[in-house]
Structure 1
Amino acid sequence: MILTNCAACAAPLAHNAPRCIRCWTRYCDSTCQHDHWRRGHKQMCKKIHRGGNAEQYHADEKYKEAVAEAVEACADDTKGQTCFICTQALHWKTKEGLVRGCSCRGTAGFVHVSCLAEQAKILYAEAEENNLDENALNERWERWDTCSMCKQMYHGVVRCALGWACWKTYVGRPEGHWARCPAINQLGNGLSAANHYEDALAVREAELAMKRRIGASEESILVAQSNLANTYHDLDRFEEAVRLRRDVYSGTLKICGEDSRDSLIEANNYAASLVHLDSERFEEAKSLLRKEIPVARRTLGDSDRLTLKMRWNYAGALYKDDGATLDDFREAVTTLEDAGRIARRVFGGTHPLTEEFENGLQDAQAALTAHVSPEEWRAAARGVKIH
């Protein structure tokens, strides 16, 4: 997590809480600061200061931990390979191993996290230096989370390592700097991708508070609220998630319109929370997704990750409903089979989205089996439809 808690007692802190004059470690008050000094901060203070002060030092340390975790998780896949950027097996400076957390297959996509981070940093710096427009800045910023070869987002612990890489690169920028807000967003996304949801919650809350302090636009505030709602959902805090997602969906629809990708994202998020809330909200979720999925297929295409996620959530709303009919179960199975084939073709068999479809299909097939009588199974085998 980022440093939003007192270093001595772990109590939540205001953004302007008192801090150590040398290394900028923050505390509730002078009592906590003196206590922390006696318990070991005296020995660490100079080291933290030399490392760029508290927030930078902490980000650098967490980055090293995240890279080590990602390299270990990818070790079997990367054995005997080389980095597509520096062409080496071990990074020349950090001596870190390789990772691959995108949709590349075969011998493609193996890389060092440090190489990805350095490339993204250079590309964005060039855009800033040359005063490129917002579209160019956004395009280059995508290198912090998207593979330049397969054009798909990184996932899991690799995404987490890149999140820390991004945050440690821009943490020293002023709060109002263009790069700092998306950097904290990248960190939150990375922590969530690695299932570090409690840490992600602290980041999401800090992101929203920062945007409110600097007077960010309504659209930017909605993005931060959406991120926070997603983390509530990940933590099974579904009541809070559905309330916030409903407001975000309504606000985004008003600003961006029905065909906007942002509106489709929020529609899918809202529907996902409805499915997890209680059985009475299944019909609302199904109705919303029946309206939005055709829009997504028309504007984004059948192979887009968001379109596939919407279909996955729709199938879940069908077969998880206590009042589901046989037609509902069959539609869920058919939807998961079709969308699952697309996910495997686009993302590969080991991608988390493909695995979600495979698990969902197994559950839907089991639910269908449990609700089909032996007579219907025999009739289906003979090609006879039972009404």
Structure 2
Amino acid sequence: MILTQCAVCATELGLSLGKKCGRCSTRYCGPECQVQHWKEGGHDNICKKIKKAGGAEQYNANTKYTEAVAVAAKACAEDTKGQTCYICTQAVHWKTKEGLVRMCACRGTAGFAHVSCLAEQAKILVEEAEENNLDIKRKVQLNRWHSCSLCEQKYHGVVRCALGWACWKTYAGRPETDSTRLYAINQLGNGLSSADHNEDALSVRETQLALVRHLCPTDEESMLTTQSNLAIAYKKVGRLDQATRTRGGVYFGHLKLSGKEHKSTLIAASNYASGLMDLQHFEQAKSLLHKTMPVARRVLGESHALTLGMRRNYARALRKDPAATLDDVREAVTRLEDLERTARRVLGGTNPFVMGVEHEVEASRAALRRDGYWREETAPGDVSSLREAMEAMMSGDAK
């Protein structure tokens, strides 16, 4: 995580509280903890090493990156067996000795690479754009920190986490006001979230929001994007009310700022609908999605990840609503089966979204099998048959 806590007692220091080691910038809440860390915590043995690495933040990023790469390579070992990196053409990285990863939408023998090679490729492309003052190209090249250059789909899981640490490791030493450094913080948060390191992701998101408020107080777009990411972190640690309130504010903020057809507004609408479903406000969620799905189809297309996500959430809302009729469940099954075919074609069978849709299909089919007869015989609002059966049982007439 980004270092915002005392190294000894973990007191939250935010961006500026406490004090730092004069040599390596390790952070403490006060002199007592600093002295304790030096005398009892082993800081005297590694202080020079931390300074040599570039300071406490850089040292932490380097360490976490190495750990994350090892985890990613191990998780991908079975998939990458017998393959070589499409960048350096080696099976084992010549310098780091790390194994290969994939976790994108590439299939067959395509897309295998070392995290180090992916990171170096992204770093070089961004540097070239920066040296030539090509800001638009720089923004495109930054995508290499999270998306495969072959299939153009985002990495996921522990590979995304390793690339998040790679990105933060690369730019952590830049000035606080540097826009690429802010981008790197965001990528680290995305990576931690993708690998379900939820508490660490929340800490990064809170730091990110504090930085945006400090550095870009009038940039409404950046503020709303950062709040949206924070809402995701709230949800992942179980703070659902807080997550949904934040998502609602973000949606209406984008609606006012950019209009109903802007991609940011559509993303915010999808996230808000998801939050409403978490709180079991299914009618509100269905109403919002029914209004925004046609816009997403028209603006982004049927195969866009956001459109696919909206379609999934609408089907889930249909099935999970306690007031759902048999026709609602049937419609949910039909929608999910169609969605599964489209998502598998676009994203590949191992993508987490596709696997999630497969689970939804099976759950919806099971609900149809389990509840079909009951829903046919006792539709919502019609409890006469149930009442008659209960009266028969109480009178002893039930067979």
Tell me the TM-score range normalised by the shorter chain. Answer: over 0.9
Question: More displaced, 201-210 or 35-44?
Answer: 35-44
Aligned AA (1:66) = A
TM superposition shift of 1:327 = 1.4
CA distance in 2, matches of 1:369, 1:238: 31
Contact conserved, 2:14 with 2:207, CA < 8 A, in 1? no
Going from structure 1 to structure 2, the CA distance change for 1:324 and 1:43 (only over 3 Å counts) comes to same
Residues 1:375 and 1:97: Cα distance change in structure 2 (over 3 Å): closer
Kindly provide the amino acid, as one letter, of the partner of residue 234 in structure 2: Y
Task: Show the counterpart of 1:212.
Answer: 213
Q: Which has the larger radius of gyration?
A: 2
Q: Which residue of 2 aligns with 1:177?
A: 178
Offset of residue 258 of structure 1: 1.1
Q: Counterparts of 1:93-132 in structure 2 under 5 Å? A: 93-132=95-134
* Aligned residues with identical type, % of pairs: 60
> Shift of residue 97 of structure 1?
0.6
Query: Deviation digits for residues 181-214 of structure 1, max 9, x if unmatched?
Result: 1100000000000011111000000000011111
Distance in 1 between residues matched to 2:292 and 2:365, nearest whole Å: 25
- Is 1:323 the counterpart of 2:315? The answer is no
Which residue of structure 1 lines up, in the alignment, with residue 397 of structure 2? none
- Alpha-carbon shift at residue 376 of structure 1 (Å): 6.7
Q: Which moved more, 1:35-44 or 1:97-106?
A: 35-44
- The one-character-per-residue Cα deviations of 1:289-338 (angstroms, maximum 9, x if unpaired) are 01111111111111111111111111111111111111110111111100
Deviation at 1:14, TM superposition (A): 3.0
Unaligned runs of 5+ in 1: 378-387
How far apart are the structure 1 equivalents of 2:80 and 2:93? 13
1:191 corresponds to 2:187: no
Contact 2:161 2:191 (8 Å CA) reproduced: yes
What is the root-mean-square deviation of aligned Cα atoms in Å?
Answer: 1.3
From 222, 244, 262, the equivalent of 2:246 is: 244
Give, in angstroms, the shift of residue 90 of structure 1.
0.8
CA distance in 2, matches of 1:112, 1:261: 32
What letter is aligned with 2:369? T
Matches of 1:366 and 1:111, distance apart in 2: 40
Deviation at residue 159 of structure 1 after TM alignment: 0.3
CA distance in 2, matches of 1:375, 1:63: 53
With normalisation by structure 1, the TM-score equals 0.95
Q: Which whole-Å deviations, capped at 9, do the CAs of 1:209-261 have from their partners, x for residues lacking one?
A: 01111134111011110000011111221100110000000011111211111
Query: 1:385 is matched with which residue?
Result: none
Distance in 2 between residues matched to 1:175 and 1:187, nearest whole Å: 16
Q: Which residue type is aligned with residue 222 of structure 2?
A: S
Runs of at least 5 residues in structure 2 that lack an aligned partner in the other structure? 378-399
Instruction: Write out aligned runs for 1:1-387 (5 A).
Output: 1-16=1-16, 17-39=18-40, 40-133=42-135, 135-216=136-217, 217-278=219-280, 281-373=281-373
CA distance in 2, matches of 1:144, 1:69: 18
Equivalent residue, structure 2, for 1:381: none
| Distance in 2, Cα, partners of 1:255 & 1:263 | 9
State the 4+ residue runs in structure 1 displaced beyond 6 angstroms: 374-377
**Preserved contact between residue 325 and residue 375 of structure 2 (Cα < 8 Å):** no
Is the partner of 1:179 in helix, strand or coil? helix
Query: Secondary structure of 1:106's partner?
Result: coil
SS at match of 2:19: coil
Between Structure 1 and Structure 2, how many residues are aligned?
374
TM-score normalised by length of structure 2: 0.92
* 2:206 aligned counterpart, secondary structure: helix
